[in-house]
């Protein structure tokens, strides 16, 4: 019997051969590429092959023909040569040497194959038929033998079955003995699947399953016959393989599960699965418990879990439910066509007014038919992000305010805040006193707001300006409705302005606590005064007393002017906003011509003058100065020209203002006055009288409400301010006509008591 | 490019769908209830898709879909319904009637056209 044995991890082949009367077991260790032999006592059968090509005789070293035919018995630690001999030249040479065969195996071959390999000694293709029968007789357990050629290349197998006609025939044996027998061995050889010892098991199994013969397969090494693997072994190989695969798959799966569980336990997101019945599966990420602040999760309905403490519009929840529950168990397209309706962000209210911003992601899981089997929901806590965003937004706002505040002096800012607060307070007081409808109250409030807005705009406080504008809008709506108003509603609108002012103050105090602007301790000696003083003193020659006295008088006068401003100073604020004002109305920046004649203006009226000049410039830009095309057509330069001219006599300080625009549109003013009921058409009026209408409140000759002029309040406020310091304001026409049907250029003449100004001689 | 039948008793909804679907390049026909829907379908047997509301007079959308589904000639037509809530009974009935897609109102046209495209490609 031939067989194999696995010895520890070394794979060996074993052939059993009868040598004389002894049964020798020959082992070949593949790893060590060594032969060893042992004597076997058991009654194992051996091949008494009378095959002339194999003649093993222990004693003989060389046979008659002088060919090597040697077999030595040795211990396993010696190398053994085994050369099986070459016979008569009439017979084909046998080159079967297991050594050479196995030497040619590279590596150790496929372990699975080697484990199952049966190194059945093959028969040669030219074995005589009687000998073949003898072989079969000797080894009844084998129903086939592999056949090889001289070079040990497998030719196929020969099956016992095929020999039945000889076996069962009375003359069969005799027939076989006949050397002239037509039937040669080759006629009985059948093909057999041949594989290499290095082939992969799955390929071998595949090849066999496609075309294998039932007996098994032949294994070769380097195209030389090595052994056979029986069907049973193949099945075992297949089974083992499957077990191995399963095992490695299981290991992979186990590892994957471990990884997933690790993720579920540690990730900072909430993940859970909605099953077909709407309840939550027991596998979910641990963080979900932290997010939703509950550990009652498994088995709950997803709507209950997610939205129990949420403040949601009922509609949104119903839509989300519709999407999820309608598409569960349906084609994924149902989900896709509706997914925009899903809630993606919402707030949960916990006890104590604490809220969390939650972000939701819905992921359908489909089977191979694209039907949704469940949903994996991913939730994130966005509260921190939202808070950060709000903070960033708040910081940006404060930054804007700071930039705006820093663009003016501290003085001006405080003055602005003070006057704006006063305006706001007066509005509130008015509303408190008059809860019933009173047009004059509304007007007054409107005027106050408009003034605040104007100043705010002047200083570039954009946010405040916009805020006041909105409030103005709502008040204006009330005004045009001409019906009863809700004083509380108006009050709350005005308080918005108040809170905005407070914000500016707060930012200034918090962030700009050391903000002094350009005001330092002590007095401010501006350039004009400084150069006047130095020139006066430096030109003093000190050799003539009357001259020296004059110097002293002059110097005193200069020092007296320390708390005054020049006309140019008043314009310094204007300069920056001039450009942006012009841009708003789409006209080029106008040129300013100031003639101050060395006049210094007392502080008391300098702020009034400032406001007047600002307002006048605004009006010039909106109404007076034409757009550049029209100006060019009229032969004027594209930019408008604005003039300020100051003079001082003993009893009067006068400032004149004019622009080179179209002038007053007397026709329009007249019709507006008629519309507003300010005058009745009984007798024709002089242009001078018509011009006076511009000082009436509520008269605006433009219809659209812009941020600039056009509200019909400015001029009357200005007149009021001038009168409050005992001044007056006139309109003087610059041309000669007196026909009220066209526009007439004009100038404003402002007169103040002489004590409000002084000359710097 | 498909031939689509829109069935809805609300004229506004129907017209809007018709116009939007036409703008997307499809041929559209319409009907105002289940009965008329079946009639229109009979005279337009090359219709590919039916988009129908559920609550309609004469015959509701699910019944209409059920009848279409039973008819051998119309077995390749894709049935979509417009719905406003989730109702598991409705879903079961709809499934039996062969409804393929459930569209929750309000419809987002961009998504509907994309889904129609996918259905046609399958």
What pLDDT, on the 0 to 100 scale, is given for residue A371? 93
Q: Which of A322, A334, A339 sits opposite B101 (nearest CB)?
A: A334
pLDDT of residue A127: 72
Instruction: Check CB contact of B115 with chain A, cutoff 8 Å.
Output: yes
Residue of A324, A331, A337 lying closest to B111 (CB–CB): A337
Res A702: pLDDT: 52
A567-585 and A603-619 are packed helices; what angle lies between their axes, rounded to 10 degrees?
20
Q: What is the mean pLDDT of residues A656-682?
A: 82
pLDDT at A82 over 60: no
A218-270 pLDDT, tens digit per residue, is 888 767 777 888 888 888 888 888 888 899 999 999 999 999 889 888 888 89
Averaged pLDDT of chain B: 90
Task: Count structural domains, chain B.
Answer: 1
> For chain A, what is the radius of gyration of the CA atoms?
57
Strand, helix or coil for residue A748: strand
In 3-state terms, what secondary structure has residue A5?
Answer: strand
**A323-327, A511-515, A704-708: lowest mean pLDDT where?**
A704-708
Q: Say whether B104 and A326 touch across the interface (CB within 8 A).
A: yes
Give one DSSP letter per residue of A472-517, joined into a string. Answer: HHHHHHHHHHTS---HHHHHHHHHHHHHHHHHHHHHHHHH-TT--T
Scanning the structure block, which residue is given the tokens 């009745």? Answer: A680
Angle, alpha carbons A389-A391-A392 (nearest 5°): 65
- The tokens describing A41, both together, are 């006592």
Task: List pLDDT tens digits, range A630-646.
Answer: 899 989 998 899 999 99
Q: Do A319 and B91 touch (CB under 8 A)?
A: no
B88 close to A (CB below 8 A): yes
Residue A604 is predicted with a pLDDT of: 77
Q: Which of B104, B105, B108, B117 to probe by mutation at the A interface, max A CB count within 10 Å? A: B104
Q: Which residue of B has its CA nearest to A277?
A: B88
Mean pLDDT on A685-706: 68
Chain A residue with the nearest C-alpha to that of B104: A338
Distance, in Å, from the CA atom of B50 to the CA atom of B61, rounded to the nearest integer, reads: 10
Cβ-contact A224, A152 below 8 angstroms = yes
Check whether A711 has a pLDDT greater than 70: no
Write down the pLDDT at residue A268: 83
Helix (H, G, I), strand (E, B) or coil at A373: strand
3-state secondary structure of A526: coil
User: CA of B38, closest CA in chain A: separation in Å?
Assistant: 24
The answer, yes or no, to whether residue A707 has pLDDT greater than 50, is no
Q: Are A402 and A393 in contact (CB under 8 A)?
A: no
**Pairing state between β B27-31 and B3-7:** parallel
Query: From the CA of B94, how many Å to the nearest CA of chain A?
Result: 10
Q: Are strands A354-366 and A372-381 parallel, antiparallel or unpaired?
A: antiparallel
Provide DSSP, A203-242: HHHHHHHHH-BTTEEEEEETTEEEEEEEHHHHHHHHHHHH
Residues from chain B contacting residue A336 (CB–CB below 8 Å):
111, 114-115, 118
Residues 6+ apart with CB under 8 A from A570: A601, A606, A609, A610, A613
Task: Give pLDDT, residue B52.
Answer: 93
Smallest CA-to-CA distance from A284 within A295, A300, A273, A296 is with A273
pLDDT range class, residue A700, cuts 50, 70, 90: low
Checking if the pLDDT of A366 tops 90, the result is: yes
Which residue on chain A is closest to B80 by alpha carbon? A334
Q: Determine the residue of chain B that is closest to A316 in CA distance.
A: B85
The predicted pLDDT at position A183 comes to 58
Burial A702-715 (b: 16+ CB within 10 A, else e): eeeeebbbbbbbbb
- Inter-chain contact A330–B102, Cβ cutoff 8 Å? yes
| Interface residue of B88, B98, B102 to substitute, partner A, most A CBs within 10 Å | B102
**Predicted pLDDT of residue A250:** 94
The two structure tokens encoding residue A651: 């009893």
* pLDDT > 50? residue A553: yes
The pLDDT of residue A94 is above 90: no
Segments forming the whole domain that contains residue B83: 3-121
pLDDT at A102: 44
CA gap A237, A118 in Å, rounded: 13
- Residues of A in Cβ contact (< 8 Å) with B85: 318, 321-322
A–B CB contacts, 8 A cutoff, strictly below:
58
3-state DSSP assignment of residue A437 = coil
pLDDT at A57: 31
**DSSP output for A682-742:** TS---HHHHHHGGGSTT--S--S--SSS-SS-HHHHHHHHHHHTT-EEEEEESS----TTS
Find chain A residues with C-beta within 8 A of B93's C-beta: none
User: If you count them, how many residues does chain B have?
Assistant: 122
The tokens for A226 are 């090595």
- CATH number of the domain bearing residue B30: 3.40.50.2300
Please indicate whether, in this complex, the C-beta atoms of A322 and B111 are within 8 angstroms of each other: no
Q: Are strands A591-595 and A641-648 parallel, antiparallel or unpaired?
A: parallel
The full 3-state SS of A320-354, as one line of letters, equals: HHHHHHHHCCCEHHHHHHHHHHCCCEEEEEEHHHE
Dist CA A215 CA A207 (whole Å):
14
Higher pLDDT, A550 or A65: A550
Residue A65's pLDDT is what? 42
Among A318, A329, A333, beta carbon nearest to B119: A333
Check whether A379 has a pLDDT greater than 60.
yes
Chain B CB contacts of A371 under 8 Å are none
pLDDT bin (cut points 50, 70, 90) of residue A216 is confident
Half-sphere exposure of A589 (CA within 13 A, CB side): 9
Nearest Cα neighbor of A423 from A468, A473, A376, A360 is A468
| pLDDT of A105 strictly over 90 | no
Smallest Cβ–Cβ distance between A327 and the set B84, B85, B102 belongs to B102
Domains and CATH numbers, chain A: 3-233 (3.10.580.10), 267-381 (3.30.450.20), 390-511 (1.20.120.160), 527-759 (3.30.565.10)
Interface of B with A in 1-20 (CB under 8 A): none
Q: Do B102 and A326 touch (CB under 8 A)?
A: yes
Q: Sheet holding A652-659: strands in order across?
A: A591-595, A641-648, A652-659, A746-753, A728-733
Q: Does B114 touch chain A (CB under 8 A)?
A: yes
The fraction of chain A above a pLDDT of 70, given in percent, is 77
pLDDT digits (tens, 9 = 90+) for A536-548: 898 888 888 888 8
A604-623 pLDDT, tens digit per residue, is 788 778 778 877 888 888 88
C-alpha to C-alpha distance for A520 and A405, rounded to whole angstroms: 17
- What is the SS3 string spanning A586-616? CCCCCEEEEECCCEEEEHHHHHHHHHHHHHH
- The per-residue pLDDT of chain A, averaged, comes to 76
User: Which of A323, A325, A333 faces B118 most closely, judged by CB atoms?
Assistant: A333
Q: Which of A720, A743, A725, A723 is nearest to A733 (CA)?
A: A743
Q: What are phi and psi of A91, to 5 degrees?
A: -90, 150
In contact, B53 and B82? CB cutoff 8 Å:
yes
Which DSSP string do the residues of A116-165 spell out, in sequence order?
H-B-PPPEETT--HHHHHHHHHH-TT-SEEEEE-TT--EEEEEEGGGGHH
Q: How far is CA A440 from the centre of its chain?
A: 56
Q: Are residues A322 and B84, on separate chains, in Cβ contact within 8 Å?
A: yes
Check residue B112 and give its pLDDT.
92
Distance from CA of B91 to the nearest CA of A (A): 7
All residues of chain B having their beta carbon less than 8 Å from the beta carbon of residue A277 are: none
pLDDT confidence band for A187 (50 / 70 / 90)? confident
CA distance A134 to A294: 85
- Whether residue A338 and residue B104 make contact (CB cut-off 8 A), yes or no, is yes
Q: Nearest CA to CA, how far is A296 from chain B (Å)? A: 25
**Quick one: A527 exposed, middle or buried, by C-beta within 10 A (0-12, 13-18, 19+)?**
exposed
Name the band, by pLDDT with cuts 50, 70 and 90, for residue A656.
Answer: very high
Asked if A340's CB is within 8 angstroms of B108's CB, the reply is yes
**Which residues of chain A are within 8 Å of residue B61 when distances are taken between CB atoms?**
none
The edge-to-edge listing of strands for the beta sheet with A216-221 is A194-196, A216-221, A224-230
Distance CA A666, CA A670 (A): 6
| Cα angle A534, A537, A542; round to 5 | 160
CA distances, A570 to each of A236, A581, A596, A605, A752 (Å): 107, 17, 11, 11, 16
CB proximity B111 to A under 8 Å:
yes
B 56-85 near A (Cβ less than 8 A):
83-85
Q: B84 contacts in A (CB within 8 Å)?
A: 322
Q: Give the chain A residue nearest B79 (alpha carbons).
A: A334
Q: What is the pLDDT of residue A328?
A: 92
For the cut 50, the answer to whether the pLDDT of residue A70 exceeds it is no
Q: Which residue has the higher pLDDT, A429 or A481?
A: A429
| Termini Cα distance of chain B | 14
Spatial CA neighbour of A124 closest among A96, A97, A84, A100: A96
The confidence score (pLDDT) of residue A340 equals 92
> Residues of B with CB below 8 A from A331's CB?
100-101
Mean pLDDT to the nearest integer, A289-302: 92
Chain A residues within an 8 Å CB radius of B102: 326-327, 330, 334, 338
Mean pLDDT computed over A743-757: 88
| pLDDT exceeds cutoff 50 at A56 | no
Q: What is the ipTM of this complex?
A: 0.88
Q: Look at residue A596 and tell me whether its pLDDT is greater than 60.
A: yes
A321: nearest CA partner in chain B: B86
What are the tens digits of pLDDT across the range A458-476? Answer: 777 888 888 888 888 888 8
End-to-end C-alpha distance for chain A, whole angstroms? 141
Query: What is the DSSP secondary-structure string of A267-298?
Result: -SSEEEEE-TTSBBPS---THHHHHHT-S--T
Q: What does the pLDDT look like over B29-82, one tens digit per residue?
A: 999 998 999 999 999 889 999 999 998 888 889 999 999 999 888 888 999 999
- What is the b/e burial string over A3-28, where b = at least 16 CB atoms within 10 angstroms of the residue's CB? ebeeeeeebbbbbbbebeeebbbbbb
pLDDT at residue A38 in the model: 64
Residue A69 has pLDDT above 60, yes or no: no
Q: Give one word for A663, left, alpha or beta, with left for phi > 0 and alpha for psi -120 to 50.
A: left
pLDDT: which is higher, A667 or A335: A335
At residue A749 the predicted structure's pLDDT band, cuts being 50, 70 and 90, is very high
Identify whether the C-beta of residue A19 lies closer than 8 Å to the C-beta of residue A57: yes
- B118–chain A Cβ distance below 8 A for any pair: yes
**pLDDT at A493 (0 to 100):** 83
Question: What is each CA distance from A299 to A276, A282, A526, in whole angstroms?
Answer: 12, 7, 82
Q: Closest approach of chain B CAs to the CA of A270, in angstroms? A: 26
User: For residue A339, which residues of chain B lie inside 8 Å, CB to CB?
Assistant: 111
CA distance A434 to A268: 59
A3, A118 Cβ separation under 8 angstroms: yes
Alpha helices in chain B (DSSP H): 11-23, 34-43, 61-70, 88-96, 109-121
Q: Please name the member of A323, A329, A331 whose beta carbon is closest to the beta carbon of B104.
A: A323
Report pLDDT for A761: 63
Assigned token pair, A683: 């007798």
Query: Residue B20: its pLDDT value, please?
Result: 92
Residue B50 pLDDT:
94
Q: Please answer yes or no on whether B115 and A336 come within 8 Å at the CB atom.
A: yes
């Amino acid at each position: 019997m031939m067989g194999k044995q696995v010895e520890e991890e070394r794979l060996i082949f074993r052939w059993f051969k009868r040598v004389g009367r002894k049964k020798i077991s020959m082992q070949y260790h593949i790893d060590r590429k060594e032969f060893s032999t042992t004597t076997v006592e058991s009654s194992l059968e051996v091949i008494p092959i009378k095959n002339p090509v194999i003649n093993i005789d222990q004693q003989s070293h060389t046979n008659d023909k002088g060919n090597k035919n040697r077999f030595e018995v040795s211990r396993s630690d010696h190398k053994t040569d085994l050369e099986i001999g070459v016979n008569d030249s009439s017979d084909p040479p046998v080159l079967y040497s297991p050594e050479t065969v196995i030497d040619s195996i590279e590596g150790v071959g496929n372990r699975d194959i080697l484990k199952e390999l049966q190194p059945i000694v093959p028969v040669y293709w030219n074995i005589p038929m009687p000998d073949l029968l003898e072989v079969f007789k000797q080894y009844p357990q084998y129903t086939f033998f592999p056949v090889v050629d001289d070079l040990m290349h497998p030719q196929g197998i020969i099956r016992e079955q095929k020999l039945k006609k000889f076996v069962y025939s009375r003359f069969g044996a005799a027939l076989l003995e006949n050397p002239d027998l037509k039937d040669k061995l080759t006629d009985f050889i059948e093909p057999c699947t041949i594989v290499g010892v290095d082939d992969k098991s799955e390929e071998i199994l595949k090849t066999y399953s496609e075309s294998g013969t039932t007996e098994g397969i032949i294994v070769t090494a380097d195209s030389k016959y090595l052994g056979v693997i029986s069907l049973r072994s193949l099945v075992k190989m297949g089974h083992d393989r499957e077990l191995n695969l399963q095992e490695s798959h299981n290991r992979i799966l186990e590892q994957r599960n471990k990884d997933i569980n690790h993720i579920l336990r540690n990730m900072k997101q909430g993940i859970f699965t909605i099953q077909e019945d709407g309840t939550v599966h027991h596998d979910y990420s641990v963080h979900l418990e932290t997010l939703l602040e509950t550990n009652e999760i498994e088995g709950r309905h997803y709507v209950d879990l997610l939205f129990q403490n949420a403040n949601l519009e009922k509609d949104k929840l119903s839509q989300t439910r519709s999407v999820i529950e309608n598409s569960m168990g349906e084609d994924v397209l149902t989900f896709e066509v509706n997914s925009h309706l899903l809630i993606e962000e919402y707030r949960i209210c916990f006890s104590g007014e604490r809220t969390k911003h939650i972000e939701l992601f819905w992921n359908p899981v489909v089977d191979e038919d694209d039907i949704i089997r469940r949903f994996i929901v991913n939730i994130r806590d966005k509260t921190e992000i939202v808070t950060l965003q709000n903070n960033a937004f708040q910081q940006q706002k404060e930054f804007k305010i700071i930039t705006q505040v820093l663009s003016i002096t501290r003085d001006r800012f405080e003055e602005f805040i003070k006057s704006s607060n006063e305006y706001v307070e007066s509005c509130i007081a008015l509303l408190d006193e008059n809860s019933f409808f009173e047009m004059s109250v509304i007007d007054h409030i409107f005027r106050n707001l408009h003034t605040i807005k104007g100043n705010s705009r002047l200083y570039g406080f954009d946010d405040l300006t916009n805020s006041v504008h909105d409030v103005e809008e709502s008040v204006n709506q009330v005004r045009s409705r001409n019906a009863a108003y809700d004083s509380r509603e108006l009050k709350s609108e005005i308080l918005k302005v108040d809170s905005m002012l407070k914000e500016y103050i707060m930012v200034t105090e918090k962030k700009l606590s050391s903000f002094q602007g350009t005001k330092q301790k002590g007095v401010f000696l501006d350039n004009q005064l400084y150069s006047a003083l130095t020139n006066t003193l430096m030109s003093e020659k000190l050799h003539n007393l009357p001259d020296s006295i004059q110097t002293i008088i002059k110097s005193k006068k200069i020092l007296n002017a320390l708390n005054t401003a020049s006309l140019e100073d008043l314009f310094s604020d204007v300069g920056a906003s001039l450009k942006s004002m012009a841009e708003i109305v789409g006209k080029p920046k106008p040129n300013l011509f100031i003639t101050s004649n060395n006049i210094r203006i007392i502080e008391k009226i300098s702020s009034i003058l400032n406001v007047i000049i600002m307002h006048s410039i605004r009006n010039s830009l909106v109404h007076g100065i034409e757009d550049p095309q029209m100006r060019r057509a009229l032969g004027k330069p594209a930019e408008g020209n604005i003039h300020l001219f100051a003079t001082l006599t003993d009893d009067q300080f006068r400032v004149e203002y004019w622009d080179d625009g179209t002038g007053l549109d007397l026709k329009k003013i007249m019709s507006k006055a008629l519309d507003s009921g300010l005058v009745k058409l009984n007798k024709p009026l002089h242009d001078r009288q018509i011009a006076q209408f511009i000082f009436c409140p509520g008269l605006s000759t433009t219809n659209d409400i812009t941020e600039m002029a056009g509200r019909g309040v400015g001029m009357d406020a200005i007149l009021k301010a001038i009168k409050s310091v005992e001044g007056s304001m006139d309109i003087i026409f610059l041309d000669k006509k007196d026909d009220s049907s066209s526009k007439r250029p004009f100038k404003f003449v402002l007169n103040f008591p002489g004590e409000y100004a002084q000359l710097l001689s | 490019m498909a031939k689509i039948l829109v069935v809805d008793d609300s004229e506004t909804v129907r017209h809007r769908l018709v116009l939007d679907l036409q703008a997307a390049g499809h041929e559209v026909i319409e009907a105002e209830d289940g009965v008329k829907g079946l009639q229109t379908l009979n005279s337009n047997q090359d219709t590919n898709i039916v988009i129908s509301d559920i609550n309609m007079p004469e015959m509701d959308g699910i019944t209409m879909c059920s009848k279409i589904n039973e008819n051998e000639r119309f077995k390749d037509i894709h049935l979509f319904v417009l719905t406003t809530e989730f109702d598991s009974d409705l879903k079961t009935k709809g499934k039996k009637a062969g409804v393929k897609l459930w569209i929750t109102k309000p419809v987002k046209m961009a998504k509907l056209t994309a889904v129609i495209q996918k259905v046609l490609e399958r």
